Amino acid sequence: MLTIPDQHKQKLDEEGYLVIEDFFDDELRLALRRRIDALYEEEGERAGWEFRQEPGCRRLANLIDKGEIFRQTIMRPDLLAYIDYVLGGSYKLSSLNARSVNPRSQTRQPLHADQSAVIDERGRWVCNSVWMLDDYTAENGALRVVPGSHKWRKLPQEVLADPMAPHPDEVMVTGRAGSLCIMHHLWHGGLANSTDKPRVAMLGFFVRRDKPQQTYQKQYIGPEVQAQLSPELRHLLALDDPHNDALARDSSPRSGFLK
């Protein structure tokens, strides 16, 4: 496993998030964007049906099933080094989705924590990776986050009168296209897009192996694709894990705020 810089570890530990500029190159960024745009065209109004729909946005879900480029990207050692650091080596892919904020959309997300997760007695159990396929700017739907909120073991809806309202400690996360944001248990929310272009990101969400997946990979990935997967990717997807099958039977897909 690759090592990550100490200052990155400190940022993740103390603030709950980290932005890594120029994490992936334009060739990969454009290839991902082309495939995602093609899937939006193919799936139309059904896009995102495997998970949740969101007002003011278009979503895609189950990307592992929809292109070799997604399967290769999510296995990158430099990505998994960060996931391994946050989750302590025992993790699986929870979901691989895309989210496109519509142009001139005034919809914004409430502050929430991914999968409504708070740190438990065993420690950290969720980690999200946000692949910025477009620039994240103050105008086009960047993230707002509350640094340090990952330590509070409370969900925004439990303590805030209005999770949609600005938080006194929130900061805006921006970055150039090609940047990666890693975050865990952090209060965050997407902002409105006041520009004339969509703002697209890919979201690789990971969970500790004793917790249910957001998207039960075994159910949604077709048999033809499953037959082609390496042992390492099968492990990451928990395809041969009876405990994961049992967790899936006892749960349903969870979002931090979508119902």
**Predicted confidence (pLDDT) per residue in 62-118, tens digit:** 999 999 999 999 999 999 999 999 999 899 999 999 999 999 998 889 999 999 999
Q: Is 255 within a domain?
A: no
Host domain of residue 55:
6-249
Measuring CA to CA, which residue among 38, 80, 31 is closest to residue 182?
80
Average pLDDT over residues 11-31: 98
Determine, yes or no, domain membership for 257.
no
What confidence score (pLDDT) does residue 55 get? Answer: 86
In which band, very low, low, confident or very high, does the pLDDT at 253 lie, cut at 50, 70 and 90?
Answer: low
Contacts of 242 (CB under 8 A, 6+ apart): none
The per-residue pLDDT for 257 is 57
- The sheet carrying 17-20 orders its strands as 17-20, 180-183, 126-132, 199-208, 91-101, 57-60
Report if residue 256 sits inside a domain. no
CA distance 229 to 224: 9
202 pLDDT higher than 70 = yes
- The pLDDT tens digits of the residues spanning 1-10 come to 789 999 999 9
Instruction: Quote the number of domains for the chain.
Output: 1
Query: What confidence score (pLDDT) does residue 175 get?
Result: 97
- What tens digit of pLDDT does each residue of 121-133 get? 999 999 999 999 9
In a domain, 1, yes or no: no
Nearest-angstrom CA–CA distance, 234 and 218: 10
At 133-166, the pLDDT tens digits run: 999 999 998 999 999 999 999 999 999 999 999 9
Does 173 score more than 60 pLDDT? Answer: yes
Spatial separation of the C-alpha atoms in residues 255 and 257, rounded to whole Å: 5
Asked if residue 100 is part of any domain, the answer here is: yes
In a domain, 259, yes or no: no
Which amino acid does the sequence have at 8? H
Strands 171-173 and 143-145, sheet pairing = antiparallel
CATH number at residue 205: 2.60.120.620
Q: Can you give the length of the chain in residues?
A: 259
Confidence of residue 54 (pLDDT cuts 50, 70, 90): confident
**Average pLDDT of 40-65?**
92
The structure's pTM equals 0.96
Whether the pLDDT of residue 52 is over 80: the answer is no
pLDDT band at 254, cuts 50/70/90? low
Please check whether residue 254 lies inside any domain of the structure: no
* 258 domain residue, yes or no: no
Q: List pLDDT tens digits, range 227-249.
A: 999 999 999 999 999 999 999 98
